Structure formats: C-alpha cells, structure tokens
Amino acid sequence: MQRLDDKTILITGGSRGMGAQMGELFASHGATVVLTDVLDEQGEQTAAAIEGASYQHLDVRSEAEWERLVASVIESHGRIDVLVNNAGIDLVKKLSATTLDDFERVVSINQRGTFLGMRTVANAMIAAEQPCSIVNISSVAGLEGVANHAVYSGSKFAVTGMTKSAAKEWGRYGIRVNTIHPGIIETPMTADLRPFTDPEMRVKVERTVPLRRMGQPIDIANMALFLASDESSYCTGQSFTVDGGVHP
C-alpha cells in the first residue's frame, strides 16, 4: 500500500471531479491535502467531507494568488511535498470558428496556470532544499491532435512539453515532474459531451476502448497516487497514459 504519511499535497481544480477524487484518495493514505479552486462553496463542501483536507481559493491564472497560496501552505505545513496541477477547461469548437478570446481563456487556465504552479512550488522547494513531486494533468489530446479541440489539444501539448523540460532542469534538486494523460473520463467537465448524454453513442464509444468502459476519476487518482508516493521515486519527465488501452 502506498502511504503518504506526513506528506502535504496541493491540488488545483479540487472542488469536484478528478481533483476531489484525488483529494479523497490521498487523504485516505495519510496525506494532508489542500484543495484549491475558484468554486469556493463547492470546494469548501468537498474539503469538509474529507478528513485531513482543507480548502483555499485559487485562480490559477494569477501569479499573485499562487505566491500567496504557496506561502500560506508552507507557513501552515512546513513544505509542499506534492503539487497536482489538475485545474483545466475544455473547448469543443472548430478551429476556424475559435475566437482569440476562446484561445486566451483556455491557454490562460490550462497552460499558464500549470506553468505558474510548477514555477512557484519548485522555486519554494528549491530554496528550502526540499524534494517534491509535481504531477501535471495533461490529456490524450496532449499526445495527438483531436478534431474540434485544437486549442485544448494545443494547451495540453504545452503541458507535456513543459513537464519534460522541467524534469531535466529540476532533477538535480530532487524535484520530479510527470504528466498523466487521461482518456475519456466521466467528470463534470465532460458531462455535456455526447458520449455521456447519448446512451447509444456511449455504447459505440465504449466498443472502441479495449477495456470496454469509460474512465472514472478514481482511475486517474490511482495513477496520481503512485506518482505522489515514494514508489515512483525514479520516475520523472514521463507521460503516463490512462485511457483503457486506446493509445498503447
């Protein structure tokens, strides 16, 4: 069993879906969990339901809020052992119809938010001479192009690239950086997609998945647990795909 006793774990986008599932799983393995989001009411409710968890507001696009949050967590808990950059949004739109505002909104959350989180936590832990694990949630769309998801896909490719570069820069400090690439996962973010609203479409999509089912948040949380634990201590700069076998 992968224990996380005495580890402090910071999760963005933690109010629901994969982030909430990770928080619950990490806490059940002994971690102190700090959930963050902009959905404050839901985030506070989620944290209240998890023993060992707390909630703080964070707009991942804001450099000042990242600095405030990291300083607060270190003041309260001494260090940050694990950062999970989970906050993200999707955009289902043809590239030809995508506006600059669409582009900037997706990139500001998915790419800029991940960049700010990585940099702020890594700088703090390097200064404190403390190792840590950074887990960035990318997507299978960060491994191949996906029609009608050009901006989302581009932002997730960026997360993949930043992760690999950061792993090479920060390895000497004991900072590991890896990505998880979920396939189709049933979460509030994907709830409006046709495979989840049309039962016939769901059956067709599941037939294309070797394991014959849609992914659930716990599938991603279990991989994040491994990367947060010391059992992955020799893994950095790697991409871990969790998609039921669609991309072997």
Cα dihedral 100→105→61→11 (10° resolution): -150
- Convert the pLDDT of each residue in 200-245 to its tens digit: 889 888 899 999 998 999 999 999 999 999 999 999 999 999 999 9
Which pair of structure tokens corresponds to residue 246?
Answer: 């669609």
Mean pLDDT of the region 122-136: 98
Residue 120 domain-assigned (yes or no): yes
Residue 199 domain-assigned (yes or no): no
Residue 48 has pLDDT above 70, yes or no: yes
Task: Report the number of distinct structural domains present in the chain.
Answer: 1
pLDDT at 198: 84
Q: What is the pTM of this model?
A: 0.95
H/E segment holding residue 176: strand 175-182
Q: Which of 55, 152, 173, 234 is catalytic?
A: 152
Cβ neighbours of 147 (radius 10 Å) = 9
Mean pLDDT of the region 25-39: 97
- Convert the pLDDT of each residue in 145-169 to its tens digit: 899 999 999 999 999 999 999 999 9
Residue 73 domain-assigned (yes or no): yes
Q: Does residue 84 contact residue 135 with C-beta atoms inside 8 Å?
A: yes
pLDDT at 196: 80
Residue 126 has pLDDT above 90, yes or no: yes
Q: How many residues does the chain have?
A: 248
pLDDT category of residue 18 using cuts at 50, 70 and 90? very high
* Residue 185, strand partner residues: 215
Residue 2 has pLDDT above 80, yes or no: no
Distance CA 64, CA 56 (A): 14
Neighbouring residues of 67: CB distance < 8 A, sequence distance ≥ 6: 120
Tell me whether residue 55 is one of the annotated catalytic residues.
no
Residue 21 domain-assigned (yes or no): yes
The CATH number given to whatever domain includes residue 121 is 3.40.50.720
Q: Does residue 117 contact residue 210 with C-beta atoms inside 8 Å?
A: no
Residue % of the chain over a pLDDT of 70? 100
Residue 62 domain-assigned (yes or no): yes
Nearest 5°: phi and psi at 177? -135, 120
Residue 194 has pLDDT above 90, yes or no: no
Residue % of the chain over a pLDDT of 90? 87
Domain boundaries, position 162: 8-187+216-240
Residue 111 domain-assigned (yes or no): yes
Residue 140 domain-assigned (yes or no): yes
Residue 192 has pLDDT above 90, yes or no: no
Residue 101 domain-assigned (yes or no): yes
Residue 176 has pLDDT above 90, yes or no: yes
Name which of 47, 67, 158 is nearest 107 in CA terms.
Answer: 158
The greatest distance separating any two alpha carbons of the chain, rounded to the nearest whole angstrom, comes to 54
pLDDT at 189: 76
pLDDT category of residue 1 using cuts at 50, 70 and 90? low
* Residue 11, strand partner residues: 35, 84
